[in-house]
Every structure is written in C-alpha cells, then in structure tokens.
Amino acid sequence: MDLNVTVSRPPEDPKSGPITVGWFRTTDKGGVLYEPPERLSFRQTNKAHAKSASRCPAVIQLESRYFVVKCPFDLNIGFGRDDKGKPHLVNRAGIASPVRANKLNEVLTLVSEVEWRYPDRPTIQMTLPYCFIADETVYLTQLGTFAHYRPDPLPGTIFGGRFPLNIWPRPLMWAFEWHDPSKDIVLRRGEPLFYCQFEGEGPDRPVQVVEAEKTPELTAYMEQISGVVNYVNQTFSLFKAAEAIRPAKLLTPKPR
C-alpha cells in the first residue's frame, strides 16, 4: 500500500467565510479626529435572564451587521437668511465653538437651494474621509442611527444611500435634510453619526471590517472615478466602465 499518495482536496470557496470589508481615510489630515468604525453593540446590558433581549439571537444577528461611524465634531448650527433672502448657516456656539469660524465651511456645506428636494427643507452635507472597499460584490447601505437614543432629536433626517463599494469606493458624507429649520442641529463628538450595513452574496455570511492600506493601485483607481458626479447625472451608469478598469485586488489589510 502506497502511503505517499496525495489526496487532492477541492480549493476552499473564498466566499464561504466572512465577508471582508476594508476601511481607510482618504486623507491623513486631522486623522485623529476620525475614529475607526465600530460594530454596533450595547455593553453592560442585562444578560442574566435567559429571555433577556441581550441574548436574543435575532437581536444579536441584527446588531452584528451594522457598523457605527461616530461624529468627529461638536457643532451647534442654526439656519438663517441674509437681507437678500440668501440662506446660510449660523454657528450658534459663536466664540465658544470648538470649530473655528473660518473652518466651519470646510466641515459643513449648505447645498444650493435649487438642489433641495423640498423648497422648505434645506440640505446640508458634512465632508468626511471615510471610505470602504472590498474585493468581492458588497453593497454598502448608509442609514440613520435608529438604535441611538437622543434626548434632543435632530430636526430632520439623514439621506441614506446604497451602492456597490467593491467597484465604487468613494468617501462617505453625512447629508441631512432639515425638516424644521427653526430648530438647531446639535451634534456631539463621539456620538453615532450614521450606520453602515454591508451585504454580500450570502445573507448568512458574517462581516469583518479591517483597516486597509492605501496602495498605489487603490489610489490610482479612485482617481479615475473621483469627481464624475460633477459631470454625469446618473453615476450608476458608469459602473460597467469602472468595473472594466478595476484591478483584480484593491483590498490589502494593514498589518496589526
């Protein structure tokens, strides 16, 4: 009997394990302000009782599939119009604001009034450096912080969105539709700003988020797809073209 026979095994299906999603900051400027995304979880909850919601498999499954991006700034913003009726943002904190007045416009942008979805609901955007990438089909859904209780609710709703991050890696922003502009927007550093949900081909596969290297290949690819929103109305129409020039591998986890 030949004991040296090699038993061939089928290669492991790369899509049978966890879905790996990489995150990185598009710029290192002020990087310490932008904390890593965290899995949604609630610590110090009651797990003593067998029927506690903290031990419910459905609750655990849901919470494990959302990742939290935290607010990097303390802001107290009001809405106003000048003597010509032009809308503008008002820094309610004044000289007590942690964000200098000359830097506020770099953080927040009031969208042009003609682009608001409703004439009485201003839209603002917060520029952020968070970007996600994957090397298999993964859809990112950005949505509001439904599991976070605020004693002073925000006077509006965030714009959610869903797109395939494996072929369209782009910096996320916080976009807000101001339903009641008579009320201020109060944001606190460290509080949840929005959630990210990641969907792969297998709904039963868990998701792991790792910090990714900004490789030359990733940087070059993002350069080719950046800014096209300024020239095309429907960027989704460019997905096939983007996929055709996409390198086979974009996600390289940072060594720990």
Q: Which of 52, 35, 34, 33 is nearest to 44 (CA)?
A: 52
Lay out the sheet containing 207-211: strands in order across. Answer: 130-133, 19-25, 207-211
What is the model's pLDDT at position 2?
Answer: 47
- Measure the CA–CA gap between 205 and 208, rounded to whole angstroms: 10
> How would DSSP label each residue in 44-109?
S---SSTT-GGG-HHHHHHHHTEEEEE--S-EEEEEEE-TT--EEEEETTGGG-SS-HHHHHHHEE
Q: What is the C-alpha separation between 185 and 191, in angstroms, rounded?
A: 14
d(CA 155, CA 184): 7
Structure confidence at residue 57 (pLDDT): 77
> Would you state the pLDDT for residue 53?
58
State both tokens at 221.
């690819």
Q: Which helix (H) or strand (E) holds 253?
A: none
- The pLDDT of residue 196: 97
| pLDDT of res. 48 | 53
Per-residue pLDDT tens digits of the chain, which is 256 residues long: 444 444 444 445 556 689 999 999 999 888 899 999 999 975 555 555 555 556 677 887 888 889 999 999 999 999 999 999 999 999 988 776 777 777 788 889 999 999 999 999 999 999 999 999 999 999 999 999 999 999 999 999 999 899 999 999 989 999 999 999 999 999 999 999 999 999 998 778 899 999 999 999 999 999 888 866 555 556 677 888 888 899 999 999 998 7
Question: Can you give the pLDDT at residue 9?
Answer: 40
Query: Residues 242, 232: contact at Cβ < 8 Å?
Result: no
> What is the end-to-end Cα distance of the chain in Å, rounded?
47
**Burial level of 195, CB count in 10 A (0-12/13-18/19+)?**
buried
As a whole number of angstroms, the distance between CA 48 and CA 152 comes to: 31
